Amino acid sequence: MLSLIRKEVGSFFSSIVGYITIVIFLLSIGVFMWVIPGKTNVFDSGFSDMGFLFANAPAIFLFLIPAITMRLFAEERRMQTLELLFTKPITDLQIVLAKYIAGLVLLIFSLLPTLVYYYSIVQLGDPVGNIDSGGTIGSYIGLFFLGAGFLAIGLFASSITTNQIVSFLVAVVLCFFVYLGFDFIGSNIASGETAYNIKNLGIEEHYASIQRGVIDSRDILYFISLIVVFLLATKLSLKRSK
């Protein structure tokens, strides 16, 4: 299982696509935070916070995460090497977990460079260090769980097709629906307690809660449940492939 994780991480960084994906994410955030004038610009806003990163990273993740996951199973199917994995002394669940953990490693690699932005804002604060570090840590936790949820969805999308582009598009649509779809339905179709319950089925409600710096066990349980559901769905997809 460890060798499969190393293989997947190595494959990602052995191609220029992996680096381009991460660079695009960092530039998308950095340009708005430091270059383009406006409310999102740190210098223009006058506030020592990273609100723009956490408010807009979900929209970027909608495309970044599917780009990471689109090849994980789709490429194996296209190259007909998935059958070789089935002959290894590992279970279907271990194959799924290995691919998923490799995705998490890439997600962490994408988030780590943003700490440079955090350090810069800390140094620019008046006085130095004038930033809500607790809230920032909470927001990073929420962003990690958001990415982890998108990864599970993207992995499932990759397991049901042999085409990477199709995998990417299916993952984008599924991630978008799970993130905002339930919130839209709850706000425009239902009302009262029903609307509240429908909204709670979506990611946005729970991510917004954690982003406020409130680490609620119900939000963590939601993300864990979402991840488990899509990982099990991926396992079933592999079982059907056999």
**CA-closest candidate to residue 190, choices 179, 172, 202:** 202
Both tokens of residue 7? Answer: 């293989």
Write the DSSP symbol of residue 47. Answer: -
pTM of the full predicted structure?
0.88
Average of per-residue pLDDT values in the chain? 82
What is the rounded distance in angstroms from the CA atom of residue 200 to the CA atom of residue 113? Answer: 31
pLDDT reported for residue 43:
67
Q: Which residue do the tokens 């689109």 mark?
A: 70
pLDDT tens, position by position, 210-231 = 877 777 888 899 999 999 999 9
Residue 194: pLDDT band (50, 70, 90) is confident
pLDDT tens, position by position, 123-177 = 776 676 667 777 788 888 989 999 999 999 999 999 888 888 999 999 999 999 9
pLDDT reported for residue 152:
96
pLDDT tens, position by position, 87-103 = 777 888 888 998 999 88
Cβ atoms of residues 2 and 96 within 8 Å = no
Of the ranges 60-64, 178-182, 209-213, 223-227, the best mean pLDDT one? 223-227
Q: Which residue do the tokens 């339905």 mark?
A: 185
